[in-house]
Amino acid sequence: MSIANQPLLKLENITKRFKKLTAVNGVNMEVAHGEKLVIIGPSGSGKSTLLRSINLLEEIDEGTIHFEGNEVGYVLRNGKRHLDHPQAISALRAEIGMVFQHFHLFPHMTVLGNVMEGPLTVQRKSVEEARSIATDMLIKVGLSDKRDVFPATLSGGQKQRVAIARALAMRPKLMLFDEPTSALDPELVGEVFDTIHTLADEGMTMIIVTHHMGFARELADRVIFMESGNFLAEGAPEEVFSKAHDNERIRGFLNRLL
């Protein structure tokens, strides 16, 4: 099987438990190269946990993760599953960009410093090279004029765009967006969506967890509706968002939001 045909990401039987609560309940999922996958569902349904499991910010209890055809993240030792060694995990994360609901910019670094940090520290690129990559990324998200200010002076929308630039600077093969607009004032949502749209148009593979149905419908190649750790529905946006969806729970959820 050629690389082009196999999925970029393949999750099998992913299960994550927090004490008694099963946050993700044995789900399976494939993401093709260039695919835009949107995960929706009520809060507490396990969307974020699933997303965070992909880049190993959450350690799963069961299941396997294949990235570019290779099993990643966990190794068997004496018949028991363990997290892979830290270098391997860092190497995987370096190829998967992540954008958080609350941005988590590094407040002590300038905007440019934030975006340079990955290439500089993780990829050990020279300062000049890192600066040139970071400058390109800031131009892409439309914030090159803010390169020398600290994050504290930025609006929420600007912060999120810097966070996207920071992730992109690592040249990731997959981007994970964990409710990227949920912490933003409504008037600032648009600029972040526009930035994500630009990325999508460039062919970036991405998984987006969001509560904005309009955005999901317009961007997604495929939508997954998740509830209580399970996939309730999966399919093309027009399918899942159809008002006459046969699942009552999905219908109820969508009616409340749309």
**Minimum gap (Å) between residue 139 Cβ and other proteins:** 19
* 85 contacts other proteins (rule: CB under 8 A): no
User: Residues 196-235: x/- map of binding to other proteins (CB under 8 A)?
Assistant: ----------------------------------------
Residues in contact with other proteins, counted by CB under 8 A, come to a total of: 33
Residue 135, helix vs strand vs coil? helix
Binding segment for other proteins among 4-12, 138-146, 164-172, 192-200 (CB under 8 A)? 164-172
- Contact with other proteins (CB under 8 A) among 63, 118, 157, 180: 118
Task: Pick one of 47, 131, 166, 212: the residue that binds other proteins (CB under 8 A).
Answer: 166
Q: From the centroid of its chain, how far is CA 152?
A: 24
Residue 55 interacts with other proteins (CB under 8 A): yes or no: yes
The piece of 12-20, 76-84, 103-111, 192-200 that touches other proteins (CB under 8 A) is 103-111
**Contact flag: residue 159 with other proteins (CB under 8 A):** no
Q: Nearest CA to 33 among 57, 58, 71, 69? A: 69
| 102-125 burial: b if 16+ Cβ within 10 Å, else e | ebebeeeebbbbbbbbbbbeeeeb
| Contacts with 178 (C-beta within 8 Å, 6 or more apart), sequence order | 48, 51, 52, 98, 99, 100, 101, 209
**Nearest approach, Cβ of 4 to other proteins (angstroms)?**
25
Question: Quick one: 103 or 215, whose CB is closer to other proteins?
Answer: 103
